Structure 1
Amino acid sequence: MEANATVALWIQYLILQVLSVTRLASSFGSDVDTWIAQYGMTRLGATAATTVETFISLSPTSTSAVVPVGAVVKTSDGTISFTVTEDTDNQYWSATAGGYVRAQGVSSITCPIECNTTGSVGNVSAGVINLLGTQISGIDTCTNLSAVSNGSDEETDSAVKSRMVLWFSSLSSATLDAVEASISGVASNLTYQVIQNETPDGLYRAGYFFATIDDGSGDVPDTTLTSVESAIEATRACGVETSTVRATVIAAVIVVPVSLAAGVELASVQTAVSSAITAYINALTVGGVCQYTTISSIALQSAGSLVTSVGVVTVNGVVADIGGSTGTVVRVTSVTVNDTDA
């Protein structure tokens, strides 16, 4: 009897294993990839963070300089590296020089860079990318003036499942679900808002829709816009007009007053609070609202025992929410933490 019971339990276990991988909802890991592969779908890969880097000369009048494509810059701890990429629309670009030219007398230039490691590891705070990994004659130092937030990790199991539900809903095509499914399948770091019967200028126009997108950076590359447009084109109804535009960025300047605990340095609180608030705001979707009360909660949670209290947080100089309007996205410009007892 015990032997038969053991065999029965073993068979039951095998049945449960089979059932778990035959349904997407109960699958995980590689079983999710196998399940969606039946429909020609694949998990979206990680995307590399991109931003612009400022290259600075401390004696600009003495000589000019060229920042070549492929030059490497690193974070202050040396663990994350970025590479200068080509942008022919950049005002400093020179095809002849094969890079970005800092003319004599110009103290600094900005160039696009891309993280050498894909994923959210490249999402760093402003001022962190400040080491020259490649020595450049005529350039003494470098820095990123704004935080980086558009790097994303490989699509998670839950994200894949949500996208598959949206994809199945879109199979009738030429529907809102179809359009949203096509956009979400372009890249894992995209947020979007689809507006129907209205132009980007806010005018009523029947039979027209547009999609506003953002990749977390506030400045979506042309290649991504083109990819989204192509995806929408494959699903839109015949005769329906459409366009794809970048979301309008609402800059957020955050000021957080705090009372420090005894013996705590303001710099340590600034780092913790700034990173947490930046992560919250830069993760907001297109059309999302940035709530100042949420920022207060995040500041208190991230600071923990380092502060005794958090004062009234201001967003762009006022105590109010921002964002929430059609086609807009809120992104951090700066986060300042002030010591109210100083």
Structure 2
Amino acid sequence: MNISLQNFSTLVSNSAAAAQGSCSALLDFTAGSVARALIEANSTVALWIQYLILQVLSVTRLATSFGSDVDTWIAQYGVVRLGATAATTSETFISLSPASTSAVVPVGAIVKSSDGTIAFTVTEDSTNQYWSDTAGGYVRPQGLASITCPVQCNTAGAIGNVSGGVINLLGTQIAGIDTCTNLSAVSNGADEESDDSVKNRMVLWFSSLSSATLMAVEASISGVASNLTYQVVENQTPGGQYRGGYFFATIDDGSGDVSDTILNSVEDAIEATRACGVETSTLRATVIPAAIVVPVSLASGVDLMSVQTAVSGAVTNYVNALGVGSVCQYTFISSIALQAAGSLVTSVGVVTVNGVVADIGGTVGSVVRIASVTVNSGGN
């Protein structure tokens, strides 16, 4: 809907012209006159009314709503904005003198990032080989230098997505444990669903109402959590064989190892959507590890360490954000590295992925995730 709007000057001019056109005598509209003052006062009110009309128009359509107005708009259909997801990872607890004693890492123990600003809590995983119901935690046997336990960020959101080796402070003193570290980068934390994401999901949701279509299945998966990527394959088994009336969904949450809880939630969502008689499966994505080497030519007087952090972080974010079935493009990594380093480098050399100059990924049910990023001064 197009609305013809007028600014203050136009409102005053049109009002003056209308008043003069309705009066046979010449009216005084000079600055300071009573007629001019009345017209300007009315024009100010008219501007305010115009603003109210535009505001009402914007919140009556999802496309032009924002913030809390988006929430109230989707609430009338029983849909809510997806909340932030706390990052999870595996933490390695280390003893410098393992032969002297054993140790128990209790559920609820705190570990922190190197600057102390981000905290993670040890969570229970009864399938972990070191878990003990009796001890209420994870037992490091005497003589074993380290054990690995699951931890979850205390603050939900992307703030928990940190690089490998960053979570290295013990927030809780544990007898028999001297230090700790996360061996791999964390990437499955996600902020609260953005306005744009909500709007895109609502388009899927509305399109899914008519029947149990592919779009309906995609809408059900995207409504489980804000950090999920997925690929739905129809009439084909995971092994690549034709099978009519069957489809499978492959999902990942950015970690490369989706939890059973998320997997079951996706299965339930698809079950509520699928057509009668159609068989389905929900699978974890097959992870393709990416060991990336980025050679750079440093600008004069620049230390390599200052470049490594920026480039490594940017490349990790790109790779770990790739969706299921997406291709990791080595040429795009060069652009990302150059943008992240800025004036600190003069050029970026030929990037290699898993030792070769080639793209990886792009296969059905696979997802590319960072194994390592090496930045060296071998650019040309």
Task: State the TM bucket, normalised to the shorter chain.
Answer: over 0.9
Equivalent residue letter for 1:46: A
How far off its partner does 1:263 sit? 2.0
**1:62 and 1:266 mapped to 2: Cα distance?**
41
Give CA deviations for 1:250-270 in whole Å, capped at 9, x if unaligned. 000000111112222211111
Displacement of 1:3: 2.9
1:251 is aligned to 2:289: yes
Query: Once the 2 structures are TM-superposed, how far is the Cα of residue 236 of structure 1 from its aligned partner?
Result: 0.2
Partner of 1:40: 78
Identity across the alignment (%): 82
1:179 partner SS: helix
Stretch moving more, 1-10 or 277-286: 1-10
Instruction: Please state how far the C-alpha of 1:10 moved relative to its aligned partner.
Output: 1.9
Contact 1:72 / 1:84 at 8 angstroms: preserved in 2? yes
In the alignment, is residue 117 of structure 1 matched against residue 155 of structure 2?
Answer: yes
Amino acid across the alignment from 2:231 = Q
Pair 1:31-2:69 in alignment: yes
Amino acid at match of 1:176: L
The equivalent of 1:152 in structure 2 is 190
State the match for 1:96 in structure 2: 134
- Match for residue 314 of structure 2? 276
Residue number among 65, 68, 79 corresponding to 2:106 in the alignment: 68
CA distance in 2, matches of 1:7, 1:308: 58
Structure 1 residue 300, shift from structure 2 partner: 0.8
Once the 2 structures are TM-superposed, how far is the Cα of residue 15 of structure 1 from its aligned partner? 0.9
Given the alignment of the two structures, is residue 287 of structure 1 paired with residue 318 of structure 2, yes or no?
no
Deviations 1:221-252 (A, max 9, x none): 00000000000000100000001000000000
TM-score (norm 1): 0.98
Q: Return the offset for 1:204.
A: 1.1
Aligned length: 341
2: distance between equivalents of 1:260 and 1:186?
45
For residues 292 and 155 of structure 1, what CA distance do their matches in structure 2 show? 29
**1:2 shift after superposition:** 2.6
Secondary structure at the counterpart of residue 209 of structure 1: strand
Q: Which structure's CA Rg is the greater one? A: 2
Q: Extract unaligned runs of 5+ from structure 1.
A: none
Residue 259 of structure 1 contacts residue 340 of structure 1 at CA under 8 Å; is this kept in 2? yes
1:135 corresponds to 2:182: no
Structure 1 position 332 matched with structure 2 position 370: yes
CA-to-aligned-CA distance 1:2-59 (integer Å, 9 cap, x gap): 3333322222211111100000000000000000000000000000000000111111
Structure ranking higher on relative contact order (CA contacts 8 Å, 6+ apart): 1
Matching of residue 169 in structure 1 with residue 207 in structure 2: yes
Instruction: Measure, in 1, the Cα distance between the counterparts of 2:311 and 2:109.
Output: 32
Which residue does the alignment assign to 1:238?
276
Cα distance, 1:306 vs. partner? 1.3
Say if 1:173 and 1:236, in contact at 8 Å, map to a contact too: no
Gapped regions of structure 2 (runs ≥ 5): 1-38
Report the TM-score when normalising by structure 2: 0.89
Aligned equivalent of 2:4: none
Cα distance in 2 between the residues matched to 1:265 and 1:7? 62
Aligned letter for 1:274? S
Aligned-residue CA RMSD (Å): 0.9
Residue number in structure 1 paired with 2:243: 205
Please list the CA deviations of residues 178-219 of structure 1 after superposition, one character each: whole Å capped at 9, or x if unmatched: 100000000000000000011112211100000000000000
Aligned to 1:7: 45
The one-letter code of the counterpart of 2:328 is C
Q: Distance in 2 between matches of 1:317 and 1:6?
A: 69
CA deviation vs aligned residue, 1:67-122 (integer Å, no higher than 9, x gap)? 00000000000000000000001111111111111101111110000000000000
